[in-house]
A and B are shown apart, each in its own frame.
Chain A
């Protein structure tokens, strides 16, 4: 009877579609995304003396320790590449993934205060974490470049590979994987917190299975046979290995494994997005 009354803008209902992304709405909130990124960057150094220097200290110290333990003590071979540079490259890449994963895996539990009061597309929150981590990653890549040039002019066998053009794609893959896993974990921890405990040490263990402190060739040589596929088919291994290949020209690269990694990352990301979207509707009741 009232035809004009049926032009509802939107409906709040108990039923949802499987994929309810609403990109238009995310676009409407793009300013919020950048303000969150700005907030994360601006507030992280507040009331510290060394400020952003902390971003450099952590990978440098880790690399030194890794070099001491794995290369000096453990006799892991890194070919022509200085072990320190090898470790620094791996750790820089790994750190970005790890920060994205841990930063987003608590999205629902950490933000329940704000999520419980106002609505905005929840996915803005993990996206902003991923973007603000880029800055940290950039600083760490900067310090890596410094050491790289140092070793380069010393003539110690490091060469840039043509694959360097893939650099942005590798960063994107790491972001997608970290964000995807993070969203899955954050959705699954809204009701039962068990996974939070797993993430704490799981990420640490995952690093050792992702060829961070060693090249894949060494793993194939020295690991027990049943472990080798875990390392090789781990998408993160391929990312780390490919990352080192393009920066240092060490290790292996194949388009097949690159394609495989890309596929896995996109699938994980989409899966994360779907689960996240389903959870955001009423997680506040169970969190």
Chain B
């Protein structure tokens, strides 16, 4: 497949703080350097863009030396925390702003869907807005006319189509806007977080449409989202941005895993030993046959240590297994009956008996523990109490449904019989 877009050393510098009389001296300084044919003096002093720490300089690099290529027909996801530079990158790609240094070369026309409903005029009807919005996104009137029925149908707003858009619900506005954008025919479509709005049915439709766009028509999509589920479903490859730098580029699965791990490092929670709680968990452990790396074939056992501080407590311990931000399941241990022998106080341990083999695909997992009364109250909550990796060693040649790159959150082996 040929390269359709190439970004070379893209950087973007922003100045923080207020614009006022203070900034004019910098502007004059910059201008004076330019007049004498020298480089911009402020380009040298930028800092890494870390939102949460206080910096020395007023200048930050929202993006720093980003290089990547996109091939025709690829759906590229862009992942990163808030302020990592995702939107800045998309803004540069959609030509809303230009990079401070570097350049992006493209062989196709780029249309963006940064935030839907842009340019909708509340006083105009849905139909008029389809034309206007379509034209803003780069379609000609003839193109829109040939697709108008399809667009109205896709939006599902037929009844309201000749009513001013200000009478629409916000979901309907989004539907209409996405419908217009989905019928654009750019070579490269840039999408930012649109799927956060709209009901479940529409989200499904939207994702389907995006898949059609890339698979059916061979067009390229760049997709930014915090929704790992939809990223996994749509994208073929992903970039991970952190503080304006490109830290990882690879398959969606691997990128998401990197992203989740990066996030965890910042929010490490320790189990506390709070005696005021009627019941509290004091430790959690993972026991497996092999030390270190766990194999898909291995037996996995969870051991939880807890302390009962008050007799007759009605509490349960819930254990939740999380993979890349998706909760796989939640299971409970009810402490009040058989596990709290003779209603004694003190420390006890439980161990899991029947954790199924061949369920977890290779990848990174973490365990959350919640203590409380089911459906009523949580008294203790420790997220990420355990982290472990599962690997698929090459010796089991039998199945790749446990491989990381396979779509899906779990691996299940269904045995098939030939029907005669």
Residue positions of A touching B, CB distance < 8 A: 4-5, 7-14, 16, 28-29, 31-32, 34-36, 39, 42-43, 46-47, 113-120, 191-192, 281-282, 284-286
Contact = CB atoms under 8 A, between A and B. Distances in A.
B24 A8 contact: no
B257 to A, nearest CB: 31
Given A13-B99, A43-B121, A286-B19, A8 B135 contact: no
B106 interface: yes
Interface string B121-152: 10110001001100111111100000000000
B124 A42 contact: yes
A7 B103 contact: no
Contacts of B3: 5
B94 interface: yes
> Which 8 residue pairs are nearest across A and B when measured between Cβ atoms?
A13-B103, A119-B95, A32-B135, A8-B105, A31-B141, A12-B104, A117-B118, A117-B114
B104 A120 contact: no
Contacts of B101: 14
Contacts of A5: 2-3
B115 A117 contact: yes
Contacts of B114: 117-118
Contacts of A11: 103-106
Interface string B224-245: 0000000000000000000000
Nearest to B10: A12
Nearest to A46: B123
B121 A118 contact: no
Interface size class on chain B is: 35 or more
Interface of B: 2-3, 14, 19, 23-24, 27, 91-112, 114-115, 118-119, 121, 123-124, 128, 131-132, 135-141
Contacts of A43: 121, 123-124
Given A12-B106, A32-B135, 9 more contacts: A5-B3, A11-B106, A14-B100, A14-B102, A35-B141, A117-B115, A119-B95, A285-B97, A286-B19
A76 B359 CA distance: 96
B92 to A, nearest CB: 6
B137 A9 contact: no
A286 B13 CA distance: 12
28 contacts: A5-B2, A8-B106, A9-B109, A11-B103, A11-B104, A12-B93, A13-B102, A14-B101, A14-B102, A14-B103, A28-B138, A31-B139, A31-B141, A32-B136, A35-B132, A39-B121, A39-B132, A42-B128, A46-B123, A47-B123, A114-B118, A114-B119, A116-B96, A118-B94, A118-B137, A119-B96, A120-B136, A286-B19
Nearest to B12: A285
